[in-house]
């Protein structure tokens, strides 16, 4: 029973170490977006309204 618990614990610790290392690498990267500092608002990102493409399809316009 102890061997099984030890094995489970080691596996969990290994996964946590791997996750933390990946998080540190990710946070160490420089931003890849070139922006003037303005981002979409949360509402803008999650806007559920019809897209321009869907509107064009419904109206029969040619779209690229």
* DSSP class per residue in 26-46: HHHSPP----SS----HHHHT
Sequential pLDDT tens for the chain (64 residues): 889 999 999 999 999 999 999 999 988 988 777 777 777 778 877 776 666 556 656 666 554 5
Predicted local confidence at residue 48, as pLDDT? 67
Predicted local confidence at residue 4, as pLDDT? 92
* 29-32-34 Cα angle (round to 5): 140
From residue 34, give the alpha-carbon distance in Å to each of 39, 45, 64. 11, 18, 26
Predicted local confidence at residue 63, as pLDDT? 47
What tokens appear for 15 in the block?
A: 């996964």
What tokens appear for 24 in the block?
A: 């540190």
Predicted local confidence at residue 58, as pLDDT? 63
Which backbone phi and psi does 32 adopt, to 5 degrees?
A: -100, -5
């Amino acid at each position: 029973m102890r061997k099984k618990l030890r094995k489970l614990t080691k596996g969990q610790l290994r996964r946590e170490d791997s996750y933390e290392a990946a998080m540190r690498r990710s946070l160490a990267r420089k931003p890849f977006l070139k922006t003037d500092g303005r981002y979409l608002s949360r509402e803008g990102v999650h806007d559920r309204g019809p897209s321009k493409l869907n509107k064009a399809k419904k109206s029969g316009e040619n779209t690229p």
